[in-house]
Amino acid sequence: MFTNFVLRYRRIAIVCVHLFLIVLSNLLAFLLRFEWAVPSAYYYMIGVTLPVVAFIRLGVFYFFDLHSGLWRYASTRDLVQIIKAVVLSSVVIGLIIYPVLDFQFYPRSILVLDAVFVIVLMGGVRLGTRILREKARLTIHEKKGVFIYGAGDAGELLLRDMLKNPGYTLHAAGFIDDDKKKTGLKIHSVPVLGTGKELDDLIEKYDPEEIIIAIPSAKPAQIQKIMNGCKKHKIALKTLPSLRDVIKGQISVNQIRDISIEDLLFRDPVTINPENVRDLVCGKRVLVTGAAGSIGSELCRQILQHNPRSLILYDRNENGLYFLDHELGEKYSRDFFSVVIGDICDMNRLYMKFKKFKPEIVFHAAAYKHVPLMEDNVIEGVKNNVQGTWNVMELSDQFGVETFVQISTDKAVNPTSVMGASKRIAEMALRHMNTISRTKFIVVRFGNVLGSSGSVVPLFREQIKKGGPVTVTHPDIQRFFMTIPESVQLVLQAASMGKGGEIFVLDMGEQIKIVDLAKNMITLSGLIPEKDIKIVFSGLRPGEKLYEELFDTDEKILSTSHEKINMALSTTNGIDAEKFFDQLIGLQVLALGGDKDGVLEKMKELIPAYNQTPVDINQIIPM
């Protein structure tokens, strides 16, 4: 009720302002035409035509809905509407004054001057209201000074959103742009202060609290360069959403987000052929083991996008399955997926679920992955990563699964850990199974994924949150990294390409030094490495290597139809199937019997290159 009253009153007030401006414009037009001394002979004509002018203009303004806009959001679109309305009303006024009222001596220049004055006054009042409101807002609210890096379309959209929303706590202190020609120019009265090369000095001079990178197409190298300019200062780095939103003109302050460590991966975006992936899983019954894990859960998310007939989520992690079930249940009908709590080492449970669901595609992502833990829990590592994998493969063969995809790791190459050796044996077992089964058995091998549970990124984030120190095992330790969605995209693509027996290896790019990762994460938090947050080197842990490898020395690298997926082809004559099978059974018997030393000896027998202890020099931490 009150809102309706206010709206009605506001519109009446706007009509009154419009009427005043119309009368003022007309009188000003006459005064200017006759150099501020209007002859008395024109008084009668003005008295007759002015009400006509006012009535016509108000009517046309109503038709163009000029009385309902909020002036504090005035824009060029409003100005265009005003111009249209004034031009149309001037034409109508001319048609009334000359043919109808027969005022042939009515100066035609008055029509032009009157129209110009109306446009200027109506546009000026709206613009003035917006400027006054924005100035008042800046004095009332305490604003956080920020630099906008990028004086392009995205930066302009962001600044415009800042200016028109009084609730925001951001105030643009200036633009930074690498184009020197833009320095000194202004966008909505905000200056372009300089280029990225001057960033250090500009931060020192203006002391902004944040830098918002308004370059949605910025490459990781460019972001890293901006970060390097901020390393001496306590300043937070933010960024904007995708280029698609910029094209749509949908940039707003609410979309600003922290720069994530994923933004700094020096990798080109992954492109896959969705048709191939759709052909693999669409209309099929798909089983994912380890479904609650980082890779397994992302597999479930992406597989459901390709319309499988059913998806079975298999894991023994009750909490993880609960949250994944809740997440997927909000997007998809539970008719399309089933949640099963079960252990891959429990053959009975596995058999019952294979019998019930009859999967056609199996993605085997269940595994123990933490290297130091598996060094202390050898038996469980072998039971899960070897025996459990064999159980799933054996049932896949028994129930006629079309395609079996095993997720493997770079730690399986020249292994120095129980975890790596167990995954290598699982690879060997899969290649053996492929020779005796109609099922297509495929391995997809890749390195670390950013943000997975228990990985360094969440650990570093938590340590930074607590004020440090950040612990790194060795100054020279380095690892391959890939984002979880990217790795799963390529796993699905590789699976669609497999004919059986292949070991596909994902292109992980260059290895990243963990200490550099730690420094970048500290800088992204708006802190200074070694000054605000210390980095402590704790020494290599049992089973760890300084660097990882994606291909063994006896493997030949073959390219595939996808630029990001290679294939590892063994150059040896292969393994004695009967001997390998006996060794594999022997390993499982020793593991079930709890014979740790026997298990380690059998693993070395299966993998002669397996060296459980890294070279001593790698353990040394330079002082």
Residues marked as catalytic: 411
3-state secondary structure 495-520: HHHCCCCCEEEECCCCCEEHHHHHHH
CA 365 to chain centre: 24
Rounded Cα distance, 338 and 346, in Å: 19
The b/e string for 401-428 (b: 16+ C-beta within 10 A; e otherwise) is bebbbbbbbbbbbbbbbbbbbbbbbbbb
Is residue 568 within 8 Å of 551, Cβ to Cβ?
yes
User: Taking phi first (over 0 means left), then psi (-120 to 50 degrees means alpha), and beta for anything else, what does residue 407 get?
Assistant: beta
Of the candidates 67, 61, 62, 102, the one whose C-alpha atom is nearest the C-alpha of residue 83 is 61
Residues in the chain: 623
**CA-to-CA dists, residue 99 to 93, 103, 258, 516, angstroms:** 10, 8, 67, 82
Burial class (CB in 10 A: 0-12, 13-18, 19+), 542: middle
Of the candidates 178, 134, 170, the one whose C-alpha atom is nearest the C-alpha of residue 152 is 178
> Look-up: residue for tokens 């459990």?
388
Q: Using CA of residue 530, residue 534, residue 539, residue 545, what is the dihedral sign?
A: negative
Of the candidates 142, 188, 182, the one whose C-alpha atom is nearest the C-alpha of residue 161 is 188
Q: At what angle do helices 577-592 and 596-606 cross, to 10 degrees?
A: 160
Assigned token pair, 68 = 């309902």
**CA-to-CA dists, residue 365 to 208, 568, 581, angstroms:** 46, 20, 23
Rounded Cα distance, 142 and 383, in Å: 61
Of the candidates 218, 221, 226, 168, the one whose C-alpha atom is nearest the C-alpha of residue 195 is 226
> Look-up: residue for tokens 């917006």?
130
Rounded Cα distance, 61 and 55, in Å: 10
**CA-to-CA dists, residue 149 to 38, 157, 180, 292, 556, angstroms:** 56, 13, 13, 39, 46
Of the candidates 433, 445, 286, 440, the one whose C-alpha atom is nearest the C-alpha of residue 367 is 445
